[in-house]
Structure 1
Amino acid sequence: MREARDRCAVTTPPPGDTAVVLGGAGFAGLYRPVREAAAREVLDTAWQNGIRAFDTAPHYGAGLSEERLGRFLRDRNRGDFTISTKVGRLLYDDPDAPDGVDCFYGAPKRSRRRDYSATGVRRSLEESLHRLGLDRVDTLLIHDPEAHMRAALDEAMPELERLRAQGVAAGIGLGVNDVGAALRFVREAPIAHLLIAGRYTLLDRRAEHELLPECARRGIRVLVAGVFNSGVLADPVHRTTFDYRTAEPAVLARARSMQRICADHGVPLRAVALRFPARHPAVAGVVLGAGTPEEVEDSLAMLDIAVPEELWRELTERALW
């Protein structure tokens, strides 16, 4: 096991540095079932390599992500790690719940229901804290409210402010993959944190035009997730998924052309994809979607690879959005 990185261990990185966060979907069965022992190994590998920040949600594996993370952290000092989780989906026991809902496999028999009311938000956090075995979280995010914006702004957001005032959520914000929804929250709500997934990548730079500059002006801490756009930027030959579905031919062609350009410079495409978000001054951290110990190790190794400026210049005009 390689030595732990001081860079990964901090939750608020020094200027010019970027925090590394382990996302909770991969070890909760996203795309494939993950056994308990295998999930534990993922978390062990991340911890041993210095990662101390974790992002999860009730949605990930219908509570399985929070439960596994809670068991892993149970005997660790609370001051040694940070946790972000989300509200907006309530879970219900459901013996008829099918496997593979929203691409999560091996999940408990639970169904999800959207709820952005103040009561739903409070209940969601209470249940998350129970699954995590904690009495507070470091960051609480409203999750995917695109179709429920009025309730999210008028009901969920004020409840998040009350929860912050009560000390059970130190920071509040939004977790989303829609740039329009993110911009509206940034401009209308008192958020301090934004997790944007899949919209600031080598292929999809839609967050770059208005959202990231707006966050920088307002001092909002931005985490970027989904840097591989669901897999195509990790390996566009063998992993042809883009934004949770089969990639269109134009997307595959662009990703493969990027891979060839990177190979000409002797740099793996996935290294460039992982390092790309940190080039923007508004980005405070990158969320790793690793679901196996090998993927954790590989991602951290890729973050240590230098990318020449000439390569960045060649890739600048090749984004699709």
Structure 2
Amino acid sequence: MKTRALRTGLELTEIGLGAAQFGNLFRETTAETSADAVERAWDAGIRYFDSAPHYGLGLSEERLGAALAGYPRDEYVLSSKVGRLLRPSPGTADRLDDEGFVVPAATRRVWDFSRDGVLRSLDASLARLRTDHLDIVYLHDPDEHWAAASTTGVDALVELREQGVVGAIGVGMNQAEMLAEFIRRCDVDVVMVAGRFTLADQRALDEMLPLALERGVGVVAAAAYNSGLLSAPAVPDDAHYDYGPAPRETIEHARRIARVCEAHGVTLPEAAVQYPLRHPAVASVVLGSRTAEHVASTIERYRAHVPDALWAELDAEGLVPRPEREDPRHVGRTS
């Protein structure tokens, strides 16, 4: 699989495996299923793996760490996130987590972007992931915590980067506007933008992506299917978008895109996987996978032939803009 480099020199495979589903997102899975997904990803050439304490109250990190334990640590890139500390909560251990993960609520998430909070969160993640360092650490969803995240949070990560405990540092969010502010004001190497640079939503093109390109900040695009809207060749009436039922106009817009894709012999999810990689600031597209079969499907979509005429028609019809027009270097893939 081809790679793209961050300004730190770190090489990311163009496809990364997102491990949120390893933490029993929406339904239970098993450690064996997670390990099989990692094995399939490794065999396909994926060398970038992402998790977070938020995913299953640490379960995703535990399963990903166990699955990667048999592989050479210097041959893959591992990222996780800080900002949500996990604290014991015995009083709620008899109920399930209320943030979408089917796990006992024996711990609770506490927002903390202080230096101490970042260090404690990272130490716990390193233990769960069975490693002594992380290649990338993101501040996770600081939407309501700009003041702390942009000061003590970033400062703590810069300190860790200087110590060599962390390679690249950045921010991961479901919005593009605040990510642009982090790029503009803070010493970050990479940002992860979820759902805002897809076939259905290109808000990251307004400011964030041009700014990232100008400043040399890498971009990891996540949630390329927008909660399932773009995950199948035909868009169903009950499609989801941004973690809820998709509005009728959103469904119709996606169907218009799907019809253009079909006319060019391409499926909607194939185009969804490959679209973000057309922007020169994007280093990798991280796609969540639960099973080995999910990984295999992702790889097929990544390797599918998508003619340039498809992107030209989507742009001409006003459905999806061609992001590569912003830079004459186009995408500049490396081997």
Aligned CA distance change for structure 1 residues 29 and 189 (closer, same or farther; 3 Å): same
Runs of 4+ in structure 1 off by over 4 angstroms are none
For 2:100, the equivalent position in structure 1 comes to 103
1:93 Cα deviation (Å)? 2.6
Query: Does 98-107 or 298-307 show the bigger shift?
Result: 98-107
Secondary structure at the counterpart of residue 155 of structure 2 = helix
Secondary structure at the counterpart of residue 287 of structure 1 = strand
1:109 Cα deviation (Å)? 2.9
Secondary structure at the counterpart of residue 141 of structure 1 = strand
- What does 1:180-195 align with in structure 2 at a 5 Å threshold? 180-195=177-192
Measure, in 1, the Cα distance between the counterparts of 2:73 and 2:282.
26
Which of 59, 68, 71 does residue 66 from structure 2 map onto? 71
Taking structure 1 as the reference length, what is the TM-score of the superposition?
A: 0.92
Q: Is the 8 A contact 1:164 1:170 kept in 2?
A: yes
Secondary structure at the counterpart of residue 99 of structure 2 = helix
For 1:295, the equivalent position in structure 2 comes to 294
- What does 1:16-55 align with in structure 2 at a 5 Å threshold? 19-55=14-50
1:313 Cα deviation (Å)? 2.4
The C-alpha deviation readout for 1:255-302, integer Å capped at 9, x for no partner, is 122222222222110000000001111111110112221111011101
The total of aligned residue pairs comes to 311
Gaps (5+ residues) in structure 1?
1-5
Q: Is the 8 A contact 1:193 1:222 kept in 2?
A: yes
For 2:328, the equivalent position in structure 1 comes to none
Secondary structure at the counterpart of residue 86 of structure 1 = strand
Aligned CA distance change for structure 1 residues 128 and 247 (closer, same or farther; 3 Å): same
Query: Does 196-205 or 229-238 show the bigger shift?
Result: 229-238
Which of 8, 12, 24 does residue 5 from structure 2 map onto? 12
1:195 Cα deviation (Å)? 0.7
Which of 173, 176, 182 does residue 173 from structure 2 map onto? 176
1:238 Cα deviation (Å)? 7.1
Percent same amino acid among aligned pairs? 39
1:11 Cα deviation (Å)? 6.4
Gaps (5+ residues) in structure 2?
322-335
1:110 Cα deviation (Å)? 2.2
Measure, in 1, the Cα distance between the counterparts of 2:302 and 2:158.
35
For 1:89, the equivalent position in structure 2 comes to 84
For 2:330, the equivalent position in structure 1 comes to none
Q: Is the 8 A contact 1:45 1:293 kept in 2?
A: yes
Measure, in 2, the Cα distance between the counterparts of 1:139 and 1:173.
7
Query: Does 232-241 or 54-63 show the bigger shift?
Result: 232-241
Q: Is the 8 A contact 2:212 2:218 kept in 1?
A: yes
Measure, in 1, the Cα distance between the counterparts of 2:124 and 2:218.
26
1:74 Cα deviation (Å)? 1.8
Q: CA RMSD in A?
A: 2.0
Aligned CA distance change for structure 1 residues 11 and 208 (closer, same or farther; 3 Å): closer
Secondary structure at the counterpart of residue 256 of structure 2 = helix
For 1:281, the equivalent position in structure 2 comes to 280
Q: Is the 8 A contact 1:129 1:136 kept in 2?
A: yes
For 2:266, the equivalent position in structure 1 comes to 267
Paired residue type of 2:127 = H
Q: Is the 8 A contact 1:23 1:290 kept in 2?
A: yes
1:101 Cα deviation (Å)? 2.6
1:99 Cα deviation (Å)? 2.6
Q: Is the 8 A contact 1:27 1:292 kept in 2?
A: no
For 1:318, the equivalent position in structure 2 comes to 319
1:180 Cα deviation (Å)? 1.4
For 1:57, the equivalent position in structure 2 comes to 52
For 1:158, the equivalent position in structure 2 comes to 155
Paired residue type of 1:122 = L
- What does 1:197-208 align with in structure 2 at a 5 Å threshold? 197-208=194-205
